[in-house]
């Protein structure tokens, strides 16, 4: 029976959380979308339901999150985690506040903590203010995000604007005094009628202390950082069986990489792969047609598939992306590339590819949907936040590594396969 039930507001964020729990010794399975009523409960200590609710209409985000919660409750989970981005990505009115409030209502908890800190990735919270590296959130570049511009670093204020209830703060000085002090501060805030508290955290030791302090909370909300402290609670309670939580079944088959992210890290990784392995760069501007582009790639892979990965990239530098967007419109340009890569993915699997790396959050969503993958068992990390996973539910078992665009070292596309050897 699962212990921890998690609801993540986006796909790669769900994987990031799952990888954190696996590192802590919990076996984790990620489910894609709200499972059906009769879907089997996977054998795992933590189940993470990945939604696409970060920028959905608040009503839809709430409804999906509640449906996920109901399923996780039926699966026997005893504690619940609402995972959002470590940069608190949200709009003026949602969706972190409305979803957290609805989950808290459904669980009958009067209070929940909110902590997006992830010091390993440079996200720290001090006096309720979120820093990205050395910059305040609203001066970090996040203020210019196309969908969720973050123009206020004061998270007490940000969360207050999104909630009916009031929001307090557990400040650094308290957090630094350890679990008992944090627990006391949270109890006091709850007694004052606060609905949530932003909890400061600057180091992993703070995150562990917060995790311990929240041992008996029905609901915890935050980034994957705050999940650092949770496995130990279950271990202390004797609920976690010692096992290699990252063990995956082994699977042979051809290797491939599909890239649809135009993030800087991915462009570097493609550049690096070019001199190492067969690499095809698709030119969507020359062939702005998904079927034709996919056919080009499928013809190119003939005779090239094997243990050495082939890399197929639609990714392009900003000026080329802008040119395609100017020609087709932003959405249609994205949809064209996603359709192309999803079609190629299906063809690759048909031709015996069983180890597949996908670069890009939206791109991963499109590929996984096309392949009919419903669930991912989480294995060992290749680079921080990107584990190998074992995909089930699509008839053909697959090893998948789904990489958020900006994640991974420059040699990620070769390193990933070496890690399986």
Distances (CA, A) of 216 to 80, 194, 212: 11, 18, 9
* Span near ligand ADP by CB under 6 A; candidates 146-154, 181-189, 333-341, 375-383: 333-341
* Span near ligand ADP by CB under 6 A; candidates 68-76, 162-170, 193-201, 356-364: 356-364
Measured CA to CA, the distance from residue 366 to residue 338 in angstroms comes to 6
- Name which position in 53, 87, 279, 404 contacts ligand ADP (CB under 6 A): 404
User: Is 231 or 365 the residue whose CB approaches ligand ADP more closely?
Assistant: 365
**Which candidate, 62, 66, 81, 65, places its Cα nearest to that of 20?**
81
Dihedral, CA of residue 4, residue 137, residue 201 and residue 165, to nearest 10? -60
Contact 170, 226 (CB under 8 A): no
**Looking up tokens 């029905």, which residue turns up?**
218
Q: Is 368 an interacting residue with respect to ligand ADP (CB under 6 A)?
A: no
* Span near ligand ADP by CB under 6 A; candidates 257-265, 268-276, 301-309, 349-357: 257-265
What is the per-residue binding string for ligand ADP in 267-296, x denoting contact by CB under 6 A? -----------------x------------
- Name which position in 4, 22, 209, 324 contacts ligand ADP (CB under 6 A): 324
Peptide bond into 101 cis (omega under 30): no
Query: Smallest gap, in angstroms, from Cβ of residue 258 to ligand ADP?
Result: 10
Q: Is 363 an interacting residue with respect to ligand ADP (CB under 6 A)?
A: yes
User: Is 321 or 348 the residue whose CB approaches ligand ADP more closely?
Assistant: 321
User: Is 255 or 337 the residue whose CB approaches ligand ADP more closely?
Assistant: 337
Query: Smallest gap, in angstroms, from Cβ of residue 338 to ligand ADP?
Result: 5
User: Is 225 or 334 the residue whose CB approaches ligand ADP more closely?
Assistant: 334
* Span near ligand ADP by CB under 6 A; candidates 86-94, 115-123, 256-264, 381-389: 256-264
Hey, what are 386's tokens? 């990107």
User: Is 17 or 209 the residue whose CB approaches ligand ADP more closely?
Assistant: 17
Q: Is 261 an interacting residue with respect to ligand ADP (CB under 6 A)?
A: yes
User: Is 125 or 359 the residue whose CB approaches ligand ADP more closely?
Assistant: 359
Hey, what are 421's tokens? 């050897």
CB under 8 Å to 26, separation ≥6 — which residues?
3, 4, 44, 45, 46, 230, 231, 234, 240, 245
Report the residue closest to ligand ADP, judged by CB. Answer: 405
User: Is 79 or 340 the residue whose CB approaches ligand ADP more closely?
Assistant: 340
Hey, what are 406's tokens? 């900006």
Query: Smallest gap, in angstroms, from Cβ of residue 364 to ligand ADP?
Result: 7
Query: Smallest gap, in angstroms, from Cβ of residue 337 to ligand ADP?
Result: 3
* Span near ligand ADP by CB under 6 A; candidates 71-79, 81-89, 213-221, 355-363: 355-363
**Residue 152 main-chain phi, psi, to 5 deg:** -140, 125
- Name which position in 98, 116, 361, 387 contacts ligand ADP (CB under 6 A): 361
What is the per-residue binding string for ligand ADP in 292-321, x denoting contact by CB under 6 A? ----------------------xxx---xx
Distances (CA, A) of 379 to 44, 49, 75, 131, 266: 12, 17, 22, 30, 22
Query: Smallest gap, in angstroms, from Cβ of residue 55 to ligand ADP?
Result: 12
Cross-sheet strand order for the sheet of 135-136: 123-126, 129-132, 135-136
Burial of residue 249, with CB atoms counted within 10 A of its CB: 0-12 exposed, 13-18 middle, 19 or more buried: exposed
Which residues, 149 to 178, sit near ligand ADP by CB under 6 A?
none
Q: Which helix (H) or strand (E) holds 299?
A: helix 290-301
Considering CB under 6 A, how many residues would be counted as binding ligand ADP? 22
Ranges of H-type helices in 152-275: 155-162, 172-175, 179-191, 204-213, 230-236, 264-274
**Looking up tokens 């039926």, which residue turns up?**
74
Contact 210, 175 (CB under 8 A): yes
Chain residues binding ligand ADP by CB under 6 A are 260-263, 284, 314-316, 320-321, 324-325, 333-334, 337-338, 360-363, 404-405
């Amino acid at each position: 029976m699962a212990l921890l039930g998690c609801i993540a507001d986006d796909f790669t964020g769900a994987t990031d959380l799952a990888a954190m729990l696996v590192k802590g010794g919990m076996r984790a399975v990620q489910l894609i979308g709200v499972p059906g009523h009769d879907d089997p409960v996977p054998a795992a200590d933590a189940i993470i339901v990945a939604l696409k609710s970060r920028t959905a209409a608040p009503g839809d985000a709430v409804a999906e999150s509640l449906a996920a919660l109901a399923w996780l409750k039926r699966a026997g989970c005893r504690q619940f985690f609402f995972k959002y981005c470590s940069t608190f990505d949200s709009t003026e009115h949602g969706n972190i506040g409305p979803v957290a409030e609805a989950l808290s209502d459904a669980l009958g908890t009067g209070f929940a903590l909110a902590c997006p800190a992830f010091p390993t990735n440079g996200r720290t919270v001090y006096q309720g203010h979120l820093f990205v590296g050395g910059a305040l959130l609203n001066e970090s570049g996040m203020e210019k995000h196309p969908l969720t511009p973050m123009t206020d670093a004061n998270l007490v204020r940000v969360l207050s604007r999104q909630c009916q209830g009031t929001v307090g703060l557990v400040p650094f000085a308290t957090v630094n005094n350890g679990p008992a002090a944090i627990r006391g501060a949270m109890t006091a805030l709850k007694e004052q009628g606060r609905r949530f508290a932003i909890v400061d955290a600057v180091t992993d030791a703070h995150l562990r202390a917060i995790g311990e302090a929240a041992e008996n909370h029905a609901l915890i909300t935050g980034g994957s950082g705050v999940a650092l402290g949770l496995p130990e609670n279950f271990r202390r309670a004797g609920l976690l069986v010692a096992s290699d939580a990252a063990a995956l079944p082994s699977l042979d088959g051809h290797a491939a990489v599909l890239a649809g992210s135009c993030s800087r890290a991915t462009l570097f990784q493609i550049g690096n792969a070019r001199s190492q392995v067969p690499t095809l760069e698709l030119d969507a501007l020359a062939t702005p047609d998904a079927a034709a582009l996919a056919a080009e790639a499928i013809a190119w892979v003939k005779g090239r598939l094997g243990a050495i990965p082939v890399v197929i990239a639609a990714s392009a530098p900003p000026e080329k992306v802008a040119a395609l967007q100017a020609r087709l419109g932003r959405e249609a340009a994205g949809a064209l590339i996603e359709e192309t890569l999803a079609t190629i993915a299906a063809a690759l699997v048909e031709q015996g590819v069983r180890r597949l790396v996908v670069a890009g959050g939206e791109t991963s969503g499109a590929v996984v949907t096309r392949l009919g993958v419903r669930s991912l068992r989480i294995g060992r990390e290749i680079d921080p936040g990107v584990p190998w996973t074992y995909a089930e539910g699509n008839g053909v078992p697959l090893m998948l590594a789904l990489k958020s665009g900006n994640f991974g070292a420059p040699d990620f596309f070769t390193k990933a396969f070496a890690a399986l050897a």
